[in-house]
Amino acid sequence: MATAEAADTMKLAGFQGTTLIDYPGRVATTLFAVGCNYRCPFCHNAELVLPDQVDGLDLLDPEDVIRQLARRSGFLDAVVLTGGEPTLQPDLVVYIGRIRDLDLLVKLDTNGSDPSTLRALLDLGVLDYVAVDIKGPPERYAEFGGPAADPNAVAETISLLRRSDIDYELRTTVAPGLAAADIEEIASWIAPAKRYVLQAFRVPGDEGKRLLDPSWAKRPALEETEIRSAWEGVRDRFEDGGVRA
């Protein structure tokens, strides 16, 4: 049984009560962790990333979140921890243990920057699904992830997942500036893998004001038909995957 010690330091800013898309095939709740070490200019969650915006957030009581999950455990299958970047949370391991004590599956969304935390979670057997965001080809990683984005750490994360028995996916939001040739290069870098998913870049409904860099809302990006064509060129390198609309 996981303890409640230190769980009150988890910084959570959002709670999506029910989602049918964030955990494939499961009814889930999504929790949004505060803080990120990346600075992806096309990120939709600037309020979880930029310190001046984070300071203005009303954080959730992590104990209250556990109580809400317990009340809904008969309806829910799983919890998705996303962000921001959840692996920055010092009490992530403890908190995930408490969620698992409710007999709920746990999916972790991560940028792959902290393979040591992922290794600890895999060793404990408390994760059921991991999704890793692949920002771009290795030599352009800082362009799409910011100065702290290290493709070597991401490569180590991918290696850990390959060697594990856990279900996982690697995914790329096809941000402005990524071309079919970049998708080909990414696929060459990350293959083989259990699942690779391409996602079209969407401008938020506020015309991009919530993007980390709002100017990216006006940059051209591949259309869904072009992304599907690029997927056809790399699909034979992966066990599963496709284009997620």
Mean pLDDT of all residues in the chain? 94
Q: What would the pLDDT profile of 44-82 be if each residue is shown by its tens digit?
A: 988 899 877 877 788 999 999 999 999 999 999 999 999
- DSSP bridge pairs for 131: 109, 169
- Through-space distance between the first and last CA atoms of the chain, rounded to whole angstroms: 39
CB burial of residue 232 (10 Å; 0-12, 13-18, 19+): exposed
pLDDT tens-digit readout, 116-147:
999 999 999 999 999 999 999 999 999 999 99
Pairwise pLDDT comparison (171 vs 245), residue with the higher score: 171
pLDDT at 7: 53
pLDDT above 50 (res 3): no
Calculate the CA 88 to chain-centre distance: 13
Candidate CATH numbers 3.60.40.10, 3.30.70.250, 3.40.50.300, 3.20.20.70; the one for domain 7-244 = 3.20.20.70
Q: Facing residues of 244 across strands?
A: 199
C-alpha to C-alpha distance for 170 and 133, rounded to whole angstroms: 6
Cα–Cα distance for residue pair 168/158, rounded to 1 Å: 10
- pLDDT tens across 14-39, in order? 899 999 999 999 999 999 999 999 99
pLDDT at 210 over 90: no
Domain map (residue ranges) of the chain: 7-244
**Of 22 and 207, which is predicted with more confidence?**
22
pLDDT (0 to 100) of residue 54 = 78
